[in-house]
A and B are shown apart, each in its own frame.
Chain A
């Protein structure tokens, strides 16, 4: 009994002390940043440009958010080492939004009113990015999402544009068009099948634009099937697809299911080329499908770390040095987002929100890691997509497709 009691007391003392230590560490760090911010705003307000990062650092899609944060940190480190923007250093203010809409709104309000940032990096997923759009417009803070690919992030349902919201990535329908053109031109596919995730707007959007483009290219959709996220057995549907005898199958979706689909398709003897989009891009895909099954499959993506271009290889090397891993598309997009904002601030010549907004909208032929782009009237970058081929479990750079 006494032993039990001491154990309990011991445990609670341990927990209490760790909590206090944690809270103290928290306090000290917050004071640290606060005093930094305070001194900079009072005496030398023009020496620091604050960029807020409202990202998914915990929760369901934490890997996207933290990848973008890493990419952004690398870019800021480089810019600061090279003298900053017009002599001003950049400070990144990171806030976690737990991958939740409400938290994303809270974080945006916090960045706008408490930290008074010059520009914001919006959340990685489209829904969370939309949750910050009205705040950005209200406080006139230019906001750029690195990877929110849904068209309605920048364009509202009624056709109006969110003035202060921009993005670094291309939008979903574009990938479908690229895939369709690749299928008709490179693989000369005539009879195609579509097998899409029915529970995600991302996949549905891709499937719709692919279908439209492939039919415009003279192809025929011989089978159109759907699955739902978290399914694990796709064989019956795949058998149906096989009997339609397509010579190309488009499978927009995320890597968890796609890995199994590819594996089961090959087991059933479907040897037609398979193609997907950036949702496939994960090392888990190779584990699930197996290297051999993935041969003769293609994806469209934002960039490839194996792109032979010099600037890309320089980025890959710098990233490897700092984080000892090869950068994925989210790293590259996070990195590019900072440079995109930097370019606009430089051209605007001030840290005024309206001036930066205008400069972002007028961006032309900006050369970044994920491609050279100009911004269209819907605040979407017009940029190239990269087509990758899986060869023995490795992504191999195939080609770049311009819009």
Chain B
């Protein structure tokens, strides 16, 4: 019962947020500049949440997330720009191909642990990038020009779906399995949990939504180039998750929103931008070494999660 209550609260909240923002947009109060920041915020939330399921829930240290984003971006762009398919099909295709890539990479590499997995995922992301760099069909190093087709609605729908799926996964039997791997893989194995299976499932779901985020990204920013998806992008996503608190879904959402706003605000001060941005990161980590939310969820700050269930 508790679960369904949280679910309805979330759905109503999402609808209210959507209605308010949509109202402000149609009222002309939010112009393209703010809409664009909102879309970017949504993309970052999706990336953060999709990495959260891999690092925060399953405890697998992956730093190749930009690679899945690239797969989603390129395949959706090929679908809409080269094959002339409608945008929703393109988004779906990008997400599915990214999930397949996640499955393909996950099966061999998730047998690795810790640092070794990190290196393997980093290597995968670079391979993806180099492949796109050398394929002339998608423009090579010069990149692929994509029409702007997304609206804030697509991005927000993406976020809602991502959060619902991942939070439900977390609370399901699969999610419990994944969490037990994070807590102690050997113990989980000894209890009869098929650790590789749960790791691959979490990894594939994470890649799926990273691909969706990439697909929306491609259709919002006019051009995609292989250099956009380099390992620094992966670290940006990693920062959202770590800053939000490893293991906290709402933490990664809050961190993604917070850092997008900080970054957009600081664009006015090009000279000191990166210094202040880094200072913000250092300060947060100094005062909240476990991240903004620790492993708690925002719901546990209110009453409804108190009897357990939400503390993942």
Interface set of A (CB-CB < 8 Å, partner B): 8, 11-12, 15-16, 18-19, 22-23, 25-26, 29-30, 57-58, 60, 94-96, 98, 100-103, 105-107, 109-110, 112-114, 126-127, 130-135, 150, 152, 156-157, 198-202, 204
Contact = CB atoms under 8 A, between A and B. Distances in A.
Contacts of B133: 199
A127 B270 contact: no
The interface size bin for chain B is 35 or more
Contact of B272 (A22, A94, A199): A22
Nearest to A30: B268
A322 B32 CA distance: 38
B225 A101 contact: yes
A105 B145 CA distance: 13
A130 B269 contact: no
Interface in B172-209: none
Given A96-B273, A107-B267, A157-B145, A102 B228 contact: yes
Task: Choose among B217, B220, B269, B273 the residue with the greatest number of A CB atoms under 10 Å from its CB.
Answer: B269
A30 B134 CA distance: 43
A127 B139 CA distance: 11
Given A95-B267, A101-B222, A131-B223, A26 B276 contact: yes
B276 A19 contact: yes
Contact of B141 (A29, A30, A200): A200
A12 B287 contact: yes
Contact of B217 (A102, A127, A202): A102
B142 interface: yes
Contacts of B161: none
A26 B269 contact: yes
A101 B227 CA distance: 9
B267 A26 contact: no
A138 to B, nearest CB: 8
A145 B302 CA distance: 52
Contacts of B220: 102, 105
Nearest to B283: A15
Complex A-B, nearest 5 residue pairs according to Cβ-Cβ distance, in ascending order? A96-B270, A201-B142, A57-B270, A113-B33, A102-B221
A127 B223 contact: yes
A9 to B, nearest CB: 10
A94 B270 CA distance: 8
B162 interface: no
B144 to A, nearest CB: 9
A110 B286 contact: no
Contacts of A29: 268-269
A30 B269 contact: yes
B33 A109 contact: yes
A156 to B, nearest CB: 7
B286 A131 contact: no
B268 A130 contact: no
Contact of B283 (A16, A57, A134, A200): A16
B17 interface: no
B273 A58 contact: yes
A11 B142 contact: no
Given A19-B279, A127-B142, 10 more contacts: A22-B272, A22-B276, A22-B279, A101-B225, A102-B221, A106-B37, A127-B225, A130-B143, A131-B222, A157-B145
Given A25-B272, A58-B270, A109-B33, A15 B148 contact: no
A105 B221 contact: yes
Nearest to A128: B223
Contacts of A8: 286
B274 interface: yes
Contacts of B32: 109, 112-113
Given A58-B274, A113-B32, A114-B33, A12 B221 contact: no
B305 interface: no
A188 B40 CA distance: 55
Interface string B280-310: 1011001100000000000000000000000
B115 interface: no
A37 to B, nearest CB: 12
B1 interface: no
B36 to A, nearest CB: 5
Contacts of B134: 198-199
17 contacts: A12-B286, A15-B282, A18-B279, A26-B269, A94-B270, A96-B267, A101-B222, A101-B224, A102-B220, A102-B221, A103-B267, A106-B36, A127-B143, A127-B223, A130-B145, A130-B223, A132-B222
Contacts of B269: 26, 29-30
Nearest to B31: A113
Contacts of B225: 101, 127
B112 interface: no
B266 interface: yes
B140 interface: yes
B275 A22 contact: yes
Contacts of A126: 142
A105 B267 contact: no
A62 B122 CA distance: 25
B13 interface: no
A156 B264 CA distance: 29
A60 B133 CA distance: 17
Contacts of B145: 130, 152, 156-157
A95 B40 contact: no
B267 A110 contact: yes
Contacts of A134: 147-148, 222
Given A94-B270, A101-B222, A199-B133, A150 B279 contact: no
Contact of A105 (B222, B271, B275): B222
Nearest to B145: A130
Task: Choose among B37, B223, B271 the residue with the greatest number of A CB atoms under 10 Å from its CB.
Answer: B223
A11 B286 CA distance: 9
Contacts of B141: 199-202
Nearest to A114: B33
Interface string B16-35: 00000000000000011100
Given A19-B280, A130-B145, A101 B267 contact: no
